[in-house]
Chain A
């Protein structure tokens, strides 16, 4: 199985901050990485697919980059609605696997 390792596991930041979450794959996976946001009690919501493509309706302050084994999700200016848990996921091969999550909290 391809292991997806996210860092940090948790992050405290303030509204307006720029934050970056990283995800490392245990082997090269091209750009087959997707990013999800999950709020408490809700299903995950896709933000970025194919490492850098913004899902329709997602604000442009979110962006993704990377290829091979190292990927990043960046939020350029945090808004109150961005405080949530974020997961990366590889769709390169089955079994599809997720990172352990990064909880973004208000400082």
Chain B
């Protein structure tokens, strides 16, 4: 079955760039059926949608993070990635990659990675 797995540094210094990759196994990021998504959850708090990327490279970001977020997709490696610049302690969170159907009527997050905790600290 399709699985998602986040990877990347668990500790990032303030003002630096957070970089994470999500590897998709058992399925393909190509084909146009899904939006590949990033969601985060600060410790003990709720969920925040960061944004998504389509296989074509088109993106949609949360305006609250848009100036600092970049996502990319590598169909040859079956991966998509997140970069968040100028991080502060407020960016400390569990970061999830997830999948959402490209069809509007079923645009929910049906598959999630396990999540990876990223701590911003010097």
Q: Once A and B bind, how many residue pairs between them come within 8 Å at the CB atom?
A: 54
- Residues of chain B contacted by A46 (CB below 8 angstroms): 108-110
Enumerate A9-48 residues with CB–CB distance to B below 8 Å. 32, 34, 36, 42-46
- Residues of chain A contacted by B27 (CB below 8 angstroms): none
Q: Which residue of A lies closest to B100 (CB)?
A: A91
A36 to B113, CA, bound (A): 15
User: Number of contacting residues on B, CB 8 A?
Assistant: 23
User: Number of contacting residues on A, CB 8 A?
Assistant: 23
Q: When the two chains form their complex, are residues B110 and A55 in contact, meaning their CB atoms are under 8 A apart? A: yes
Enumerate B28-80 residues with CB–CB distance to A below 8 Å. 46-49, 60-64
Q: When the two chains form their complex, are residues B113 and A95 in contact, meaning their CB atoms are under 8 A apart? A: no
Q: When the two chains form their complex, are residues A50 and B105 in contact, meaning their CB atoms are under 8 A apart? A: yes
A87 to B98, CA, bound (A): 16
Which residue numbers of A lie inside 8 Å of B, CB to CB?
Answer: 1, 32, 34, 36, 42-46, 49-50, 55, 87, 89, 91, 94-101
